Structure 1
């Protein structure tokens, strides 16, 4: 091993200086001058208002919580309304309560109108009476303006149409009398 100060093998700073000098000599042989840039290439200066480090305050380059990033992305892509609608369907039992959710299911949510189908006509009547309280609970859970009004339907009647062909008329009632 050589001692520092021997001229045989450059070390550290001297090694870097020698590499820089060799690169300059190779560039000079090719005809490049120091500070030479290819024509047509414009060097763009960095925005002077932008800092190069984050610092102690909040910055968009800092690591962000996943929920904040997802919320920002949903807002930018215009998904906020659809996500709010999905929350009504996904959290129905939590929003309206277990007993109501057992007998009523949301069907559609379009333009602020939520269509709910009840399991029986008695539950449809009960839901119509509770409609104002249900709207308040949904607004508290998902946000105001997502559900503006509710339309409550009773259970659907069985269909008497069987097969691809159909004859217009009253259906099976006309054969009973």
Structure 2
């Protein structure tokens, strides 16, 4: 009669047993030949610290890092942090200044710590000028000190009558006053 077919677990057990027998045979041959295993002591000598083979339970620089942590470390090493903080003003505007202010104002540019903000109306521009210190404080709390130092706030631009249906070529309607 033939033996039943062997399964994967049985084959793995047999391979492990064969590897253990081979290791035991090598160790026995080494002992018979008088070869001794070197003994490690302390930190490896010569003032070098002993390296562990694994990271252990505590956090270590060899542990996998999140992408955000690696990106912030890279930006700090390359000196990109101020530009990225300036870009965060535009990306996180609603979060930094609040939904009501963000609904009526939008950032236009940030150069050398001066943030230019466009308001929907002249009334909102005046309100933002009054709230300027509080807004700069909120931006500093969210982004860090020195990213935004001053704000330049302007209202909507007045319509230009130089083009369009109301424009008169030449001197215009000045001749009707007199």
Tell me the TM-score normalized by structure 1. 0.62
1:117: Cα distance to partner? 0.7
Task: Say whether residues 1:110 and 2:111 are aligned partners.
Answer: yes
Q: 2:75 and 2:103 mapped to 1: Cα distance?
A: 31
Partner Cα separation in structure 1 for residue 169 and residue 140 of structure 2: 45
Quote the residue 1:51 is aligned against.
51
Alpha-carbon deviation of 1:134?
A: 0.8
1:12 paired residue among 18, 22, 36: 22
Deviation per residue, 1:106-128 (Å, 9 max, x gap): 00011111000111111111111
C-alpha distance in 2 between matches for 1:105 and 1:172: 36
3-state SS of 1:12 partner: helix
CA displacement 1:30-54 (0-9 Å, x = unmatched)? xxxxxxxxxxxxxxxxx93462433
- Number of residue equivalences: 130
* Distance change (3 Å), C-alpha of 1:155 and 1:174: farther
**Counterpart in the other structure of 1:6:** none
Q: How far apart are 1:130 and its partner, in Å? A: 0.8
**Counterpart for residue 156 of structure 2:** 155
**Structure 1 CA distance, aligned partners of 2:123 and 2:161?**
24
Give the Cα–Cα distance (whole angstroms) in 1 for the partners of residues 145 and 169 of structure 2: 47
1:86 corresponds to:
87
1:38-73 Cα offsets, whole Å, 9 max, x none, are xxxxxxxxx934624334444311222332222111
Higher helix share: 2
Query: What SS does structure 1 have at the residue aligned with 2:109?
Result: strand
How many angstroms does 1:84 deviate by? 0.7
Provide the residue aligned with 2:4 in structure 1: none
Residue of 166, 173, 178 corresponding to 1:176: 173
* Secondary structure at the counterpart of residue 61 of structure 1: coil
Deviation by residue 1:76-119 (Cα, 9 ceiling, x = unmatched): 12221121111111111111111111111100011111000111
Identify which range, 117-126 or 60-69, moves more after superposition.
Answer: 60-69
